[in-house]
């Protein structure tokens, strides 16, 4: 039997090359790997690992509550939980009592609290915020099953160092005030858990905690008694748009530090997507301002690969799908404007700007790509078009025929009239294709970068214009020409309703007997 709820500690480690991260239900076939991880993670405790029979019991009783993180097909961590009728217990329970002497017969599908039995991450994968990803799953499970909240007894692994001078309450207060770093409590506080009570004799043999534990709770604000919504599919998708300000950077590391700040900010609101603007990395061209413009942009292209690799790491660490805006890329001697969809499962997909502007072709020698496709994500099908592409109605219509619900448009415009073209065309695309359209651009000035001197932007989320949506078709809008984030929820079920019962049917009423559109 292991110690409960010891999440990963964010210790900087050198991680193996990550190709794919997956969150799956745990199976008993993975027990051998699970046991090896637990013995390493809980080396300081007696009887560190759950037995095969105990894990089998958990999976059989509540398969949805047992999830595993896989990295490149290898088990990297687990989160185990049960549902309890908390009225049968009190705030002075022990770990043995809440788990029914480790039989888990206290699991009650009709209960009101999701109780965390254990969380652990393999030491070699710590620092990737995998613990937070599993806690996000627990929160979503709690919301879908309409449970009141999540509870568990959190260990105090560093309390033994302070037990002679501090009571457990004083210790926790010092952790809250950042005077003491406790890896468990710091993690839980960052995940919106609060201390409900301090429990004595919680886990027998936990000498580090002096057998004390903090009873921690996260309240489900969406809870509505007494109706349970079992198995409800997620239909509301949260979008995080980054209205990026152009500014000089001394290095790629400094730019990435700023980018991570925004990823962290939108992820903190549990956004499903983060959208960056077109050519957000242009400030890195400042060092090459002495070169002819076609050479300078190709020097900028040398940063694309390391930027994409880092953004993929961010998507995993912050559990969010990131659309990187766009960057220059040299392929077979030709210069393209490309972007990347870095999914939170670790996979990376590429998209091209098909219509380069006359300025991009004339000044940089850029050429348009030839690939147009929809992307499958954990939030449905999406499309991505770069700036000028949204001014060509054929492309969004072809994506709509592939059942795209959300169209993302990273853009960069220098003047207000250029912005107005993108803005009004994007809104038209939302109406005529009965989908959501999110646009994000850059603001500010870059006086030391040729052809990128000024920017004008107002990031927005557009909807179709019908009764279920805002009457002006604008779901959310940022302040013009101000660095900020814009977070907005879009309901995919409203689109389904619109397709069938809308006032008009722009997609369905097309006269395909008179005209047609074909992707070659």
Q: Compute CA distances 202 → 90, 165, 167, 197, whole Å.
A: 13, 21, 16, 12
Residue 421, SS3 per DSSP: helix
Does residue 123 lie within any of the structural domains?
yes
Question: Do residues 436 and 384 share a domain?
Answer: yes
Beta bridge partners of 335: 330, 366
Work out the average pLDDT over 442-449: 88
The pLDDT score that the predictor gives to residue 4 is 60
Does residue 376 lie within any of the structural domains?
yes
* Distance separating alpha carbons of residues 268 and 182, to the nearest angstrom: 21
The secondary structure of residue 473, as a DSSP letter, is S
* Distance separating alpha carbons of residues 179 and 185, to the nearest angstrom: 13
The pLDDT score that the predictor gives to residue 7 is 53
Question: Do residues 320 and 198 share a domain?
Answer: no
* Distance separating alpha carbons of residues 85 and 147, to the nearest angstrom: 10
The pLDDT score that the predictor gives to residue 45 is 66
- Provide, rounded to the nearest whole percent, the portion of the chain with pLDDT above 70: 94
Does residue 16 lie within any of the structural domains?
no
Does residue 407 lie within any of the structural domains?
yes
Residue 388 is part of a domain; what is its CATH number?
3.60.110.10
* Distance separating alpha carbons of residues 320 and 360, to the nearest angstrom: 31
Residue in 379, 387, 425, 435 annotated catalytic = 387
CA 401-279-385 angle, 5° bins? 5
* Distance separating alpha carbons of residues 467 and 30, to the nearest angstrom: 50
Average pLDDT, the chain: 91
Residue 357, SS3 per DSSP: coil
Question: Do residues 288 and 193 share a domain?
Answer: no
Least confident residue range of 13-22, 143-152, 266-275: 13-22
* Distance separating alpha carbons of residues 278 and 384, to the nearest angstrom: 11
* Distance separating alpha carbons of residues 8 and 130, to the nearest angstrom: 7
Residue 144 is part of a domain; what is its CATH number?
3.40.630.30
Q: What are phi and psi of 448, to 5 degrees?
A: -105, 15
Q: How far is CA 328 from the centre of its chain?
A: 25
pLDDT value at 12 more than 50: no
Least confident residue range of 37-46, 325-334, 380-389, 450-459: 37-46
The pLDDT score that the predictor gives to residue 192 is 86
Smallest CA-to-CA distance from 228 within 110, 146, 138, 142 is with: 146
Q: Compute CA distances 469 → 290, 341, 384, 436, 458, whole Å.
A: 50, 28, 22, 10, 20
Least confident residue range of 106-110, 185-189, 324-328, 360-364: 185-189
The pLDDT score that the predictor gives to residue 84 is 96
SS (H, E, C) 434-463: CCEEEEECEEEECCCCCCCCEECCCCEEEC
The pLDDT score that the predictor gives to residue 105 is 93
Q: Compute CA distances 304 → 224, 298, 326, 446, whole Å.
A: 47, 10, 9, 19
Confidence of residue 229 (pLDDT cuts 50, 70, 90): very low
Tell me which H or E stretch contains 422. helix 416-432
The pLDDT score that the predictor gives to residue 9 is 44
The pLDDT score that the predictor gives to residue 289 is 87
Question: Do residues 27 and 115 share a domain?
Answer: yes
Does residue 512 lie within any of the structural domains?
no
Question: Do residues 243 and 96 share a domain?
Answer: no
Last-in-domain residue among 219, 250, 266: 219
Is residue 78 flagged as an active site residue? Answer: no
Tell me which H or E stretch contains 336. strand 334-342
What is the per-residue pLDDT across 377-397, written as a single tens digit (0 to 9) for each?
Answer: 999 999 999 999 999 999 999
- Provide, rounded to the nearest whole percent, the portion of the chain with pLDDT above 90: 76
**Is the distance from CB of 116 to CB of 152 less than 8 angstroms?**
yes
The pLDDT score that the predictor gives to residue 13 is 44
Question: Do residues 128 and 181 share a domain?
Answer: yes
The pLDDT score that the predictor gives to residue 46 is 64
**Total domain count for the chain?**
2
The pLDDT score that the predictor gives to residue 76 is 92
**Is the distance from CB of 285 to CB of 449 less than 8 angstroms?**
yes
CB atoms within 10 A of CB 410: 30
**Is the distance from CB of 285 to CB of 297 less than 8 angstroms?**
yes
Q: How far is CA 381 from the centre of its chain?
A: 16
Q: How many residues does the chain have?
A: 520
Question: Do residues 150 and 250 share a domain?
Answer: no
The pLDDT score that the predictor gives to residue 67 is 95
Confidence of residue 232 (pLDDT cuts 50, 70, 90): very low
Is residue 278 flagged as an active site residue? Answer: yes
Confidence of residue 311 (pLDDT cuts 50, 70, 90): very high
Confidence of residue 224 (pLDDT cuts 50, 70, 90): confident
Does residue 3 lie within any of the structural domains?
no
The secondary structure of residue 378, as a DSSP letter, is B
- For CA atoms 320, 326, 327, 328, the dihedral sign is positive
* Distance separating alpha carbons of residues 263 and 342, to the nearest angstrom: 12
What is the per-residue pLDDT across 143-165, written as a single tens digit (0 to 9) for each?
Answer: 999 999 999 999 898 999 999 99
Question: Do residues 47 and 170 share a domain?
Answer: yes
Question: Do residues 281 and 410 share a domain?
Answer: yes
Question: Do residues 322 and 257 share a domain?
Answer: yes
The pLDDT score that the predictor gives to residue 226 is 60
Beta bridge partners of 193: none
Residue in 208, 278, 360, 434 annotated catalytic = 278
Which residue pairs, CB below 8 angstroms and at least 24 apart, start in 174-183?
182/156, 182/157, 182/158, 183/6, 183/7, 183/9, 183/157, 183/158
Work out the average pLDDT over 277-303: 94
* Distance separating alpha carbons of residues 366 and 380, to the nearest angstrom: 32
| pTM recorded for the entire structure | 0.75
Tell me which H or E stretch contains 214. strand 213-219
Locate all alpha helices (DSSP H) within 327-393, ordered by sequence.
Answer: 358-359
pLDDT value at 419 more than 90: yes
Work out the average pLDDT over 469-474: 96
pLDDT value at 450 more than 90: no
Peptide bond into 514 cis (omega under 30): no
Last-in-domain residue among 219, 252, 271: 219
Question: Do residues 246 and 215 share a domain?
Answer: no
125/460: higher pLDDT: 460
Residue in 293, 353, 379, 435 annotated catalytic = 353
What is the per-residue pLDDT across 272-289, written as a single tens digit (0 to 9) for each?
Answer: 999 999 999 999 999 998
The pLDDT score that the predictor gives to residue 15 is 55
Q: Which domain holds residue 48?
A: 21-219
Does residue 314 lie within any of the structural domains?
yes
Confidence of residue 260 (pLDDT cuts 50, 70, 90): very high
Q: Which positions ≥6 away from 481 have C-beta within 8 Å?
A: 443, 444, 456, 457, 458
Smallest CA-to-CA distance from 182 within 190, 192, 172 is with: 172
Is residue 353 flagged as an active site residue? Answer: yes
pLDDT value at 11 more than 60: no
Does residue 513 lie within any of the structural domains?
no
What is the per-residue pLDDT across 65-95, written as a single tens digit (0 to 9) for each?
Answer: 999 999 998 999 999 999 999 999 989 899 9
Question: Do residues 113 and 50 share a domain?
Answer: yes
Q: What are phi and psi of 238, to 5 degrees?
A: -100, 125
What is the per-residue pLDDT across 491-504, written as a single tens digit (0 to 9) for each?
Answer: 999 998 898 888 99
């Amino acid at each position: 039997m292991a110690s409960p709820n010891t999440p990963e500690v964010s210790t900087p480690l050198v991680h193996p090359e990550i190709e794919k991260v997956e969150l799956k239900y745990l199976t008993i076939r993975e027990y051998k790997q699970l046991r090896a991880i637990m013995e390493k993670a809980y080396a300081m405790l007696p009887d560190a690992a759950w037995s095969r029979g105990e894990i089998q019991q958990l999976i059989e009783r509540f398969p949805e509550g047992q999830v595993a993180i896989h990295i490149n097909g290898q088990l990297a961590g687990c989160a185990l939980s049960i549902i309890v009728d908390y009225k049968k217990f009190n705030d002075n329970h022990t770990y043995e009592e809440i788990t029914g002497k480790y039989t888990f017969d206290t699991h009650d599908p009709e209960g009101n609290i999701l109780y965390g039995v254990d969380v652990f991450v393999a030491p070699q994968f710590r620092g990737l915020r995998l613990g937070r990803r599993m806690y996000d799953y627990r929160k979503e499970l709690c919301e879908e099953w309409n449970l009141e909240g999540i509870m568990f007894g959190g260990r105090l692994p560093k309390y033994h160092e302070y037990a002679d001078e501090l009571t457990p309450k004083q210790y926790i207060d010092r952790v809250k005030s950042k005077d003491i770093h406790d890896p468990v409590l710091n993690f839980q506080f960052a995940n919106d858990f609060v201390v409900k009570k301090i429990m004595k004799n919680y886990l027998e043999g936990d000498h580090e905690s002096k057998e004390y534990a903090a009873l921690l709770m996260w309240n489900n604000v969406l809870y509505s008694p007494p109706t349970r919504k079992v198995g409800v599919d997620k239909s509301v998708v949260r979008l995080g748009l980054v209205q990026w300000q152009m500014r000089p950077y001394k290095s790629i590391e400094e730019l990435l530090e700023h980018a991570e700040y925004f990823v962290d900010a939108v992820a903190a609101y549990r956004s499903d997507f983060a959208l960056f603007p077109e050519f957000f990395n242009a400030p890195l061209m400042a060092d090459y301002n002495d070169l002819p413009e076609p050479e300078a942009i190709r020097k900028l292209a040398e940063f694309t690969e390391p930027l994409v690799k880092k953004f993929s790491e961010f998507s995993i660490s912050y559990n969010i799908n990131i659309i990187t805006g766009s960057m220059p890329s040299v392929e077979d001697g030709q210069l393209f404007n490309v972007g990347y969809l870095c999914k939170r499962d670790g996979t990376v997909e590429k998209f091209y700007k098909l219509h380069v502007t006359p300025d991009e072709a004339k000044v940089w020698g850029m050429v348009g790509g030839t690939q147009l496709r929809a992307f499958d994500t954990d939030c449905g099908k999406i499309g991505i078009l770069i700036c000028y592409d949204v001014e060509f109605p054929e492309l969004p219509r072809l994506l709509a025929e592939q059942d795209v619900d959300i169209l993302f448009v990273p853009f960069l415009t220098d003047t207000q009239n250029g912005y107005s073209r993108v803005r009004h065309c994007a809104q038209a695309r939302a109406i005529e294709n009965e989908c959501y359209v999110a646009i994000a651009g850059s603001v500010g000035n870059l006086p030391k970068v040729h052809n990128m001197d000024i920017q004008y932007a107002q990031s927005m989320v557009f909807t179709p214009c019908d009764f279920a949506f805002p009457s002006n078709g604008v779901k959310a809008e940022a302040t013009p020409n101000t660095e900020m984030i814009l977070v907005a929820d879009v309901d995919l079920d409203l689109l389904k309703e619109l397709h069938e019962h809308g006032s008009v049917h722009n997609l369905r009423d097309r006269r395909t007997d008179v005209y047609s559109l074909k992707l070659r």
